[in-house]
Amino acid sequence: MNNDDRVYPSSTKPPANGAVPAPPPGANNNNNAAAAAFPATKAQLYNASRPAYRPQPRHRSRRSCCCRCCLWTTFSIILLLFLLAIAGAVLWVIYRPHRPNFSVSTFQISQFNLTGSSNSQLITSTFNLTLIARNPNKKLVFFYDPISVSVSTDRGTHLGDGTFPAFTHSTKNTTTLKTTIGGGGGQSIDDASATGLKSDLKKNSLPLKVQLDTKVKVKMGSLNTKKVPIRVTCTGINAAVPTGKTPATPASTGKIKCKVDARIKIWKWTL
């Protein structure tokens, strides 16, 4: 008898088309569940092909540290500027500070000669200057170092030097300063400067400017500041040139203006 002709009981007959045989009656439910879960699911196959998870160590970011440093630095600078602004506002309310002001009372050319050949020309000049310094403050006292004075043309040709002595400028005080600039000594100039001077001398007057440089310390109550360089520039001077040995008439002071600037130096720049 062939295998195909064999007779199987209904309980042991092999399934057709490779199907899983049904469990016999009375079989254990756990065995039934294990038999049903035997084939591998797609999710199990997918997880089996994935690589094992390996957590990466966390490194502290340098960029975040730089950002924090920049943030704190910016915050510190803003806070410092804010505190300085508050302190400045308090000082202004208490003392109401104002800059000292200067004006030219008299300016006279007592001697002026341009001599020499085209290759070597000399200037002999003497200037008389009277300056008025005013302190408009009620609670501020200024202490001036010796003041250096220089006279030059509007074209930039240097003509002479002088000085004012050191002095104390009390509150609501007006001080008169007098000096002689030049002293009659000869000073050589180049051809371009000599040409400009000759052109101005034809008009019988010289457009000049006076520059003063010094350092000043300020006293506000019990507070004393450090010495600060200042520069005073007076422009608008048109002085008559003397003829012979007779001094010229003093220049008109109506259009002379003096500007006071603090010479604060920050690194390589002077403000």
Q: Which amino acid is at 61?
A: S
Helix (H, G, I), strand (E, B) or coil at 177: strand
Phi-psi bin for 258: left (phi > 0), alpha (psi -120 to 50), beta? beta
Q: What is the pLDDT of residue 208?
A: 94
Query: DSSP code of 209?
Result: E
Q: Return the residue matching tokens 């202004």.
A: 92
Q: What is the pLDDT of residue 33?
A: 47
Phi-psi bin for 26: left (phi > 0), alpha (psi -120 to 50), beta? left
- CA–CA gap between residue 27 and residue 98 (Å, rounded): 110
Helix (H, G, I), strand (E, B) or coil at 196: helix
Q: What is the pLDDT of residue 130?
A: 96
Q: pTM to 2 decimals?
A: 0.64
Tens digit of pLDDT per residue, the chain (271 long)? 444 555 555 545 555 554 555 555 555 555 554 445 445 555 554 555 555 656 555 555 566 777 888 888 888 999 998 888 887 777 677 777 888 999 999 999 988 888 876 667 888 889 999 999 999 999 899 999 999 999 999 888 888 899 999 999 999 999 999 999 985 556 778 788 888 888 888 887 899 999 999 999 999 888 888 999 999 999 999 999 888 777 788 999 989 999 999 876 444 443 3
Contact call for residues 179 and 146 (beta carbons, < 8 A): no
Q: Where are the domains of the chain?
A: 101-263
Cβ burial of 147 (10 Å; 0-12, 13-18, 19+) is buried
Run of H or E residues at 241? none
Contact call for residues 248 and 240 (beta carbons, < 8 A): yes
